[in-house]
Structure 1
Amino acid sequence: MLAYLMSCLGILLAGLDPTPQPQTYAVVVGISDYKELTSRNGDLRYADRDARQVVSFLQSRSGGSLPASHIRFLTNQQATYANIRQALTLFKQAQAGDRVIFYFSGHGLPSSFVPYDVRLDNQQGLLTHQAIKEAFRQSEAATKLCIADACLSGSMTQQQTSQRNLLKTVGSSLGDDTNVAMILASRSTQSAVETGRLAGGAFTYYLLKGLHGHADLDKNKIVTIRELHAYVSPRVRQETRGHQTPIFYGRFSDDLGLAYL
């Protein structure tokens, strides 16, 4: 009898997978209503809505079924400089093999994104691109994605240091297997367009449409970063009549999976 019980226990234990499953941690920010702006002098229309749709995707099966504890979601008055910086500490929970995502939709300036509470007469409270890269550097995650739907977001690829040092900064010291990707709405000199026809930012609209399956060009139920670029970029350029060109930049495998359908 004892031998039989031990045999059953062995079968049960053999069926358990001791390997931890990769986890995803995301900070999602969307700001339409700024503290010192109005609809007449600079407030946006759809940035908070776009961010909410990104969260919905991340919580879906295709996006990884993220639990609420793995997401920091900040919109409008919640998206202060201090709250965003605090939210970025979530990335320290990631372990080797995990993935971290920072998504921002709102106003952008050269070398920075604009939090809700920035003062027009004092821009010390800007969220610098360097601060985001530092949060990435401090994370042990194997995959790091920065996705920004903001004007001038392409300036995130520009540094006073060399490109090699830039990639080392955002990629940390995790080795050649680390995927670090910046998926940015526009070049460093371009605006990011919102459109009533799409009820959102053109970039986020096509980004999410691609992730929901339209970018699965080979129909293998996986949307890779290469497929997403091939889908998003020409459609955003067409939607904006050539005024906006998304940028996919960093160090990553072309076959990096971003959605599993």
Structure 2
Amino acid sequence: MIVHALLSLLSLLWLPDPVATGQTYAVVIGISDYKALTYSTGDLRFADRDAWHVVSFLKSRAGGNVPAANIRLLTNQQATQANIAQALLLFRQARRTDRVILYFSGHGLPDSFVPYDARPDSPARLLSYPMIKAAFHDSEAQTKLCIADACMSGGMTQPRTSRPTFVQPVHDGSNVAMLLASRSTQYALEDGRLAGGAFTYFILRGLTGQGDLDGNRIVTIRELHRYIAPRVRKMTRGQQTPLFYGRFSDDLPLAYL
């Protein structure tokens, strides 16, 4: 028992720092002010602010001390479909030991996210799920995360194209996960009391310490889901159920505190 305890302690002491085991490349998008909308017709309040908070987390120690050069932040009028497509090329810089992250906060549809310059009469101006999955598929990174605080984002789990998906098996050490704010039939809600989207609010609280359920100074993806899911459901009175979907180890570390 004593030997086992010592080995467990040593394993914690020698856990690799996320910075030392590879680079992180992140595309962070938040759209509150849409070109074709006003606040009375559907503009959001906090999506751009949530994107800034996500960038702040990534630059922190818990988020991996990601350098600014490895982050593409697009908010409001910057987040056109063309600009997002260009930003996603960043993922091609990643090597196998690296991590790539897409965070999107804004409007969502069953088969796409909505960029700033979307028009109701032009589906081609949307940010389709196949476009996003192709950007992940083209990256060599071993760890790939898509985090979406958008209505109907659960639709991303449904195969709608013959193009290769970015979800891959874990037997080769790969971890590919979609952290989605809602089911494909649900809205993703903002809350004035939280000054943000409910999903992003609890994501960030979980990653900065509240999600460390076993107290070992590491927040795993399993811990994050256990922390987020009941709180989002409670805050939204059951209207929103977060989904964590993909091929990943339950012990995938997302934050080192």
Same fold (TM over 0.5): yes
CA contact (8 A) 2:30 2:49 kept: yes
Match among 214, 224, 229 for residue 233 of structure 1: 229
1:149 Cα deviation after fit: 0.1
Which deviations, in whole Å up to 9, do the C-alpha atoms of 1:96-118 show, x marking residues without a partner?
Answer: 11000000000000110000001
SS in 1 for 2:159: coil
The residue type paired with residue 233 of structure 1 is A
**What is the rounded CA distance, in whole Å, between the counterparts of 2:122 and 2:222 in structure 1?**
40
SS in 2 for 1:183: strand
Residue identity (%): 68
Moved more, 152-161 or 69-78: 152-161
Unaligned runs of 5+ in 2: 1-19
The aligned residue for residue 10 of structure 1 is none
1:124 Cα deviation after fit: 1.3
The aligned residue for residue 56 of structure 2 is 56
**What is the rounded CA distance, in whole Å, between the counterparts of 1:207 and 1:91 in structure 2?**
22
1:169 Cα deviation after fit: 1.8
Bigger Rg, structure 1 or 2: 1
Unaligned runs of 5+ in 1: 1-19
CA contact (8 A) 1:186 1:247 kept: yes
SS in 2 for 1:169: coil
The aligned residue for residue 124 of structure 1 is 124
**What is the rounded CA distance, in whole Å, between the counterparts of 1:118 and 1:132 in structure 2?**
16
Does 1:183 find its partner at 2:179?
Answer: yes
Aligned residues: 238
Which deviations, in whole Å up to 9, do the C-alpha atoms of 1:125-172 show, x marking residues without a partner?
Answer: 1001111111111000000000000000000001146xxx89x62136
The residue type paired with residue 204 of structure 2 is L
**What is the rounded CA distance, in whole Å, between the counterparts of 1:172 and 1:220 in structure 2?**
29
Which deviations, in whole Å up to 9, do the C-alpha atoms of 1:169-192 show, x marking residues without a partner?
Answer: 213689631100000000000000
The residue type paired with residue 28 of structure 2 is V
CA contact (8 A) 1:136 1:172 kept: no
The residue type paired with residue 62 of structure 2 is S
CA contact (8 A) 2:207 2:224 kept: yes
**What is the rounded CA distance, in whole Å, between the counterparts of 1:31 and 1:175 in structure 2?**
37
**What is the rounded CA distance, in whole Å, between the counterparts of 1:174 and 1:218 in structure 2?**
24
Root mean square deviation, CA, Å: 1.6
Correspondence 1:67-106 to 2 at 5 A: 67-106=67-106
Match among 201, 206, 209 for residue 210 of structure 1: 206
**What is the rounded CA distance, in whole Å, between the counterparts of 1:86 and 1:201 in structure 2?**
26
**What is the rounded CA distance, in whole Å, between the counterparts of 1:178 and 1:111 in structure 2?**
25
**What is the rounded CA distance, in whole Å, between the counterparts of 2:248 and 2:134 in structure 1?**
18
